[in-house]
Structure 1
Amino acid sequence: MRQLSEHLRTAAQLSSDEVKALAAQGVKTLICNRPDGEEEGQPSAESMRTLVESLGMNWYFLPVVSGQVMDEQGDAFGEILAKAEAPVVAYCRTGARCGCLWALSLRHERSGERLVEALKLAGYDMPDFFKRLQG
């Protein structure tokens, strides 16, 4: 997991056991940024929603196609974060889309340089996306 803010971590695809562990750790909200059917054997958003809600957590589904993260999706991610009960974990296949969405959600509040620095500190290495933020 990567820590992007005091209340937000990102992750790769979560298993049922990992979701249960997150609930036990006090995570209140999960955001899925992975479209259904992206990879064989991937749990469906509906099955994850059912599990998450059965554990008393909040669920948001904002599917984003890998490599096609749009500014508007970043805005939608920011809207979810603004109302989500913390702590929050967002996940996709590798966690990269979640990092992109987080940065895009803050693009009007922070400079591209500050966002790139924060992503790098969290362990992200996305040179093309970094150029987009700084461009």
Structure 2
Amino acid sequence: MDIRALTPTYAVSPQIEPSDLAAIKAAGFTTVIDNRPDGEIPPHLHTDVMKAAAEAEGLTFVANPVIGGALTQENLRAQAAALAEATGPVFAYCASGNRCSVVWALMNAGQASTDDLINTPAKFGYNLEHLRGQIDALAAEAEADRI
């Protein structure tokens, strides 16, 4: 398991195993978000298995499957809601941690600078530069909504 903290309250990781959940809890996380659709992983890592294992550790588990190249506004809303409802730090995982980073950057557009939203994940090898225009557009929408 490779925990990559983007903020003090949000970390991403490549795929985890049910046996990793005790260490995730011990690291202080209270919520686990699964950003992988069941169709791309073996049965022993499917949502129902991971949810049961997380809940057995006393963790909140949120399934928010993000299909590569088909991220939706609902994915952004679901991730933001999970963070808002969390009672402590949130741990999100997918195949590499990239999708979790993309969701984080897009849902925080307008709340942090575009440079920060791109440069923070870059420290862990996630290149989100191609999202600069999309982050800027979402930030502009958020600003217009505040006016």
- TM-score bracket for the superposition, by shorter chain length: 0.7 to 0.9
Pick one of 37, 42, 45 that aligns with 1:43.
Answer: 45
User: Does structure 2 conserve the Cα–Cα contact (< 8 Å) formed by 1:2 and 1:123?
Assistant: no
User: Does structure 2 conserve the Cα–Cα contact (< 8 Å) formed by 1:33 and 1:90?
Assistant: yes
Moved more, 4-13 or 63-72: 63-72
Q: CA shift at 1:35, angstroms?
A: 0.7
Match of 1:33 in 2: 35
Q: CA shift at 1:96, angstroms?
A: 0.7
Higher RCO structure (Cα 8 Å, ≥6 apart)? 1
In the comparison of the two structures, how many residue pairs are matched?
A: 135
Gapped runs of 5+ residues in structure 2? Answer: 138-147
Larger Rg: 2
Give aligned-pair identity as a percent.
30
Gapped runs of 5+ residues in structure 1? Answer: none
Does residue 1:125 correspond to 2:127, yes or no?
A: yes
TM-score scaled by structure 1?
Answer: 0.87
Two-structure CA RMSD over aligned residues (Å): 1.9
Q: Quote the Cα distance in structure 1 between the aligned partners of 2:41 and 2:129.
A: 25
Q: Quote the Cα distance in structure 2 between the aligned partners of 1:67 and 1:22.
A: 28
Letter of the 1:14 partner, please give it. Answer: I
Does residue 1:112 correspond to 2:123, yes or no?
A: no
- Which structure has greater helix proportion? 2
Q: CA shift at 1:108, angstroms?
A: 2.7
